[in-house]
Amino acid sequence: MREINFISSEKFNSHEYDEIIDVRSPSEFHEDHLPNAINLPVLSNLEREHIGTIYKQESPFTAKRKGAELVSFNISKHLKNYFSNKEKDYSPLVYCWRGGQRSKSLSIILNSIGWKPTILEGGYKSYRKHIINSLDKILSTGFNLKIISGLTGSGKTKLLKQLSLAGAQVIDLEGLAKHKGSALGDEVNSAQPSQKMFERNIYELLQSFNAGIPIFLESESSRIGNLQVPAKLWNLMKISSLIEIQITHDKRIELLINEYQHLINDPKLLLSKLEKIKHLKPASVFENWINLINQRNVPSFVDSILKDHYDQAYLNSRGNTYLNDPEDSYSLDDISDKSYGYLAKRILSNT
């Protein structure tokens, strides 16, 4: 039986392995994991919690004995159900939280069969540290960021999509965060990722980009829902050049009605979300919103929330955040994808 190899987070190349296996519990995997990893837990969520309780309340020895029993049982199931058709030269990368017993337990068995597992030294913990350090380092190299600005409802996200389709380098922070960045911005069918996963996805994008070519982002606050924009990226955004998009007030209302149909169709959900900003508005303004929603007067409600909340909030945020005035400004009379596609090409021809 050959000796099992270890590799550090700084040196491993995912393309050198047939698979990347995360043996942590499903809840740990869900929070974040290595790119393209699969989850083959050797302890379930409840089992991991149970072993931890035994360790604290009884003894480390008892916990290890019981843990070994559960790990052995779960590995046997994986051997029967998952590994049964693997070829003789199968070579996976295996990791757990710290490169400890869970990853070693599976790797020893795979190695004894004749396969060629490699253990990620230090486990996910070392990989996470590598991501943090690498993200800071790569942001220090000097990317040329272009920030798309404009009042709420200007179609900044639509423009980012068209820029990406036109071949531009784009970081859609709201897309990565699964949140539109406002009190009403929660995604309907998906929860936000963890902060760790959010940062990893940003790092992977930056790593794939050419630093000599502009990268387009939407103007944001430092928080998008429950997630924090990485500090170095946020600081770089604040000193970057702005490209301002202007469309008429009526078109902004139309665009927002189109994008927030799920709230228009569910007035109770809309009212519950508005409670988040109730403390920011005079009682008369908030009561007017409630009346307009109850009357199903959607255009008047959107008109009011733009004039009485979002427009001033956006202008204040931009004035207090971004140090530069817009270097270019573009006006649109149409909010179709085709119109934003033409605008994307104009912007790229001028950068």
161 and 221 within one domain: yes
| Summary count for the chain: helices (H), strands (E) | 16, 12
In terms of residues, how long is the chain? 351
Final residue before a domain boundary, out of 80, 103, 131: 131
Residues 150 and 276 in one domain: yes
Q: Which residues of the chain have pLDDT under 70?
A: 1
Q: Which two tokens stand for residue 207?
A: 């790593």
| 192 among known catalytic residues | no
- Distance CA(4)–CA(320), nearest Å, equals 55
pLDDT of residue 322: 79
Residues 119 and 152 in one domain: no
Instruction: Residue 32: give the domain boundaries.
Output: 5-131
Distance CA 7, CA 123 (A): 10
Q: Give the C-alpha separation, 85 to 341, whole Å.
A: 48
What backbone phi and psi angles, to 5 degrees, belong to 223? -120, 140
Is residue 264 included in any domain, yes or no? yes
Identify the CA nearest to 199 among candidates 164, 162, 224, 168: 224
Alpha-carbon Rg for the chain, nearest whole angstrom, is: 25
State residue 317's pLDDT score: 77
Task: Please check whether residues 155 and 99 belong to one and the same domain.
Answer: no
Domain boundary among 68, 103, 131: 131
Catalytic residue among 51, 96, 237, 298, which?
96
- Note whether residue 136 is domain-resident: no
Last residue of a domain, one of 104, 131, 158: 131
251 and 177 in a single domain? The answer is yes
**Is residue 138 included in any domain, yes or no?**
no
Residue 97's CATH number: 3.40.250.10
Say how many domains are in the chain.
Answer: 2
Q: ∠320-186-343 over CA atoms, to 5°?
A: 65
Which of 93, 159, 148 is closest to 124 using CA atoms?
A: 93
Q: Cα separations (Å) of 292 from 71, 140, 252?
A: 59, 49, 18
User: Would residue 137 count as lying in a domain?
Assistant: no
Cα 308 to Cα 36, 203, 294, 311, 323: the distances in Å are: 45, 37, 18, 7, 25
H or E element that contains 120: strand 118-120
Which CATH number do you get for residue 298?
A: 3.40.50
First to last CA, the chain: 59
Same domain, residue pair 38 and 156:
no
Torsion of CA 215, 220, 221, 226, to 10 degrees: -100
Q: How far apart are CA 242 and CA 19, in angstroms?
A: 42
* 295 found inside a domain: yes
Domain assignment present for residue 288? The answer is yes
Q: How far is CA 166 from CA 250, 306, 346, in A?
A: 28, 31, 11
Do 109 and 190 lie in one domain? The reply is no
Judgement on whether residues 70 and 168 belong to the same structural domain of the protein: no
Q: Is 152 found in the same domain as 90?
A: no
Given the structure tokens 């427009």, which residue do they identify?
A: 311
Residue 65 maps to a domain: yes
Pair (181, 127) in one structural domain: no
- The 93-95 sheet, strands edge to edge: 5-7, 118-120, 93-95, 20-22, 38-39
- Is there a single domain that holds both residue 151 and residue 68? no
Residues 149 and 113 in one domain: no
Phi, psi of 99 (to 5 degrees): 70, 35
Query: 299: Cβ–Cβ under 8 A, 6 or more apart, which residues?
Result: 253, 257
**Sequence-separated (6 or more) residues with CB below 8 Å from residue 64:** none
Six-digit token pair at 95?
């990791």
